[in-house]
Structure 1
C-alpha cells in the first residue's frame, strides 16, 4: 500500500517501484495458474482417455474450454483467499511473490515424478511459508486455514470415494443384464459427460485461487480496496491461463490417474466423474479451498472398490498419500526460503525471478529424457514407473519382445 512518502519500502528500507513488483507477481501468478492447468488436467480427463471414451487431444480441448467457463462462474473461493487466509495489512507483494515461487516449484517437481499432488495445497503451503517468514506468525488466520483447507482435505476425498463406490456398484448392478456392447457405448457417453462436468467444476474451484492471489496483491499494494472481489480482467486472465495449461496436456500425471491407481472401466469412469463433480461444486459454493486432485483421486479409488474384482494398486495410492502429506510443508519451506530472498528489495526480487526461471528450465530439461505425450499416455506396457505392483513381464506385447523387452524390464526395476 502507499504511504505519505511513496511506495511501501522493503525491510532494508530501500524504496522500489511498487508497480514493477505487482506486475511481476501477476505474471508469476498466471504462470502458476498455467502449471495448475496441466498439473490437474488429469483430474477430469484421465478416466475417459484411459477407457477410450475420448481421444487425448479431444479431451484436453474440452477440458480447457470448460476450465475457462468454470473460472468465470463464481468468485467465492477467490474472496476466501484474498480476504480470509492472511492479514492483508501485514502481507506485501514480495511476500506473495515468494509464495507463488514455492507453489510453482513444488508443482513442477511433482509433475516430473508423475505424482498427482494438490496444486491448491502447493499454493496454500507456499503462501503460508512466505507469509510466516515475511510477516510473522500472527499474520496467518489459522482458524480459516483449518476450516477452509485442512478439514475439507480430509472429508471431501472420503465423501467422494464413498459416493463413487456406491455409484459404481449401482451402475454394474443396473446394467448386469444389458448386452455389453450397448452398456459400454452408453457409459462412454456418460463418462465423457461427467468428465466434462469435472473440468467445469475444476475451473470453478481452482481457477479462482489465482484470482484470489492476484486480488490479494492488489489489495496489499493499495490498488484495490480491502474486502472487495476480483476485477473482471483478473477473472478473464486467470481463466485463460488455466485453460491454456490444461490444453498443454499434463500427460505424466494423467497416466498415473488413468492407469496407475485402478484399471478404469467406463462405468467406473462415469460414476467417479459424477461423484467428483458434485463434491467440487458443493465445496466451491461454500468457499472451501478444496483440492480437486484429492477429490478426483478419492473418487477413482472408490470406483475401484465399487467394482467387484477390480484391483486397487495401494502401493501407488500410498506414494500419492505421502506426496499429499508433504505438499503443504514442502511448498511452505520453498516459499519461506524464497521470502528470505524477496525481502531484499528489487535485487532480491529479480534474483528470485531468475532462480525461478532456472529451476523451471532444469526440470523441463530433465523431463525431456523420458517424454510422455498424448501418443503414449495410455500405453499400459510402460505404465507407472512409480508402481511397485506394475507387471515385470510383457508376454503379449510385440513391441517389447527380445532385447527391448529386457531393457524395459531392467529399466522399470531400476527406477522402482
Structure 2
C-alpha cells in the first residue's frame, strides 16, 4: 500500500506538471492576437488569462469524464501506465514550446496515454472507436470550422466599419478584444484544465479510491485549475510570438473576429464533452482572420510547420509514452529511471531556450524564421 500510495502521489504531481506546461504552452490561444494588436500589455494579458483559466475549470466536467473513462478502459489502466503517458505528453509539450510551435497539449496527452496503455495492457484496453469519434474527427473538423467562421467574421467586421474612421474603428475593436480574449481564456479553462482532472480521476479510479465512471472530486478540480492558471501566468512567449506575429498579419478587427470565433467553437465542444484541441481551434481562427482581410499576408511556411507538428503529436507522444511504460513496468527502478530522464530532458529544453529567449519585451518582434515568401488571399 505504501508503494501504491507513493506512486499515486508521483502520478498526481506529474499530472500537475503537465497541467502547468499546458498553461504556458497554450497561453497564446487566448492572448496572442490581443498582445500582437496592442489591445493588452503582455503581462496584463497573461494575468487575465490565468485568472480566467482558473474560473473556467469550475464550469464543467464533461471533458474530464470523457478522458477518465472514454478513450481507455479504466479497469485495465495502472498508475504506471498513467505516469508513463504523462511523461510522453509533458516532453512533447516542452519540445514544441522550445520550437515555438502551437501544437496540441490535448493530443499530446491523448497520445501519451494511448501509447502507454497499449504497451502496458494491450490494444484491447484502448477504445479506438472513441478515439476516432472524440479525437480524430474533431481534430480535422474543428480548425476548419474555426477558420471559416473567423474568415467570415473578419470580412463582415471590415465591411461594417468601412465608413468609420480607421483610428476610431481600431480603438473600438481593441476594447472589444479585451472581452473576446477573456472569453477565450475562460473557454480554455473549461476545456483544457479538465484534461488533467480526467487523468487524476483515472488514477484514483485505478487504485480503487473512486468508483468507475466517477466525476472529478472538488479538490481535483481546484488543483488542476490552479496548476494551469499558474502555467498560463508564466507566459508561453515563444508560442505567443508565432501565433501573434509569425502566422499572419493581425489587426484589431481580425483579432476580435478570431477570438470570438474560437470561443464559440470551444464552448460548444466543451458542452458536448468533446476534448477539443483549443490550440488547433485558435490557430485555425487566426489563419481564417488572415485570409478574411484583403491584402493580409499569410505565411504558409509557418502554417505548414504547425500542421506537421499536429500530425506528429499523437504518434510521437504515443511512442514516448509506450517506451516510458515499458521501462517503468520493470519496477521501482524503472519508474525512477523514467522520472530522471524526463527531468533531465526538461532541464535541457529550458537551457536551450535561454540561448534565444523570448520575453514580454520582444514577443511582438517578427520571428526570424518567418522572413519568407508570403501569400496574399484573393480580394
Which category of TM-score, normalised to the shorter sequence, fits these structures?
Answer: over 0.9
Query: Which residue number in structure 2 is paired with residue 168 of structure 1?
Result: 154
Residue-pair matches, total: 374
Query: Which residue number in structure 2 is paired with residue 301 of structure 1?
Result: 287
Query: Which residue number in structure 2 is paired with residue 366 of structure 1?
Result: 352
- 1:123 is paired with a residue of what secondary structure? helix
Query: Which residue number in structure 1 is paired with residue 3 of structure 2?
Result: 17
Q: Distance in 2 between matches of 1:185 and 1:160?
A: 25
Q: Distance in 2 between matches of 1:389 and 1:47?
A: 22
Query: Which residue number in structure 2 is paired with residue 193 of structure 1?
Result: 179
Query: Which residue number in structure 2 is paired with residue 52 of structure 1?
Result: 38
- 1:48 is paired with a residue of what secondary structure? helix
- 1:25 is paired with a residue of what secondary structure? helix
Query: Which residue number in structure 1 is paired with residue 206 of structure 2?
Result: 220
Give per-residue Cα distances to partners, 1:13-66, cap 9 Å, x unaligned.
Answer: xxx710011100000000000000000000000001001000000000000000
Q: CA deviation at 1:207?
A: 0.3
Q: Distance in 2 between matches of 1:26 and 1:389?
A: 46
Q: Pick one of 40, 64, 69 that aligns with 2:55.
A: 69
Query: Which residue number in structure 2 is paired with residue 329 of structure 1?
Result: 315
Are positions 1:292 and 2:275 aligned together? Answer: no
Closer, same or farther in 2 for the Cα pair 1:387/1:218, shift >3 Å? farther
Q: CA deviation at 1:278?
A: 0.2
Query: Which residue number in structure 1 is paired with residue 195 of structure 2?
Result: 209
Q: Distance in 1 between matches of 2:289 and 2:355?
A: 33
Are positions 1:253 and 2:233 aligned together? Answer: no
Closer, same or farther in 2 for the Cα pair 1:340/1:388, shift >3 Å? farther
Gaps in structure 1 of 5+ consecutive residues: 1-6, 8-15, 391-416
Query: Which residue number in structure 2 is paired with residue 342 of structure 1?
Result: 328
Q: CA deviation at 1:389?
A: 3.6
Q: 1:29-44 residue pairs with structure 2 within 5 A?
A: 29-44=15-30
- 1:385 is paired with a residue of what secondary structure? helix
Q: CA deviation at 1:77?
A: 0.2
Query: Which residue number in structure 2 is paired with residue 103 of structure 1?
Result: 89
Q: Pick one of 205, 219, 227 that aligns with 1:233.
A: 219
Query: Which residue number in structure 1 is paired with residue 377 of structure 2?
Result: none
Q: TM-score by structure 1 length?
A: 0.89
8 Å Cα contact 1:316/1:388 also seen in 2: no
Give per-residue Cα distances to partners, 1:320-340, cap 9 Å, x unaligned.
Answer: 000000000011011011001
Q: Distance in 1 between matches of 2:93 and 2:307?
A: 16
8 Å Cα contact 2:64/2:195 also seen in 1: yes
Q: Distance in 2 between matches of 1:48 and 1:227?
A: 39
Structure (1 or 2) with the larger CA radius of gyration: 1
Q: CA deviation at 1:119?
A: 0.4
Q: Distance in 1 between matches of 2:372 and 2:206?
A: 48
Q: TM-score by structure 2 length?
A: 0.97
Query: Which residue number in structure 2 is paired with residue 113 of structure 1?
Result: 99
Q: Pick one of 369, 376, 379 that aligns with 1:385.
A: 369
Q: Distance in 1 between matches of 2:356 and 2:206?
A: 42
Gaps in structure 2 of 5+ consecutive residues: 375-379
Tell me which stretches of 4 or more aligned residues in structure 1 moved more than 6 Å.
none
What is the root-mean-square deviation of aligned Cα atoms in Å? 1.0
Q: Distance in 2 between matches of 1:387 and 1:27?
A: 40
Query: Which residue number in structure 1 is paired with residue 342 of structure 2?
Result: 356
Q: Distance in 2 between matches of 1:389 and 1:60?
A: 31
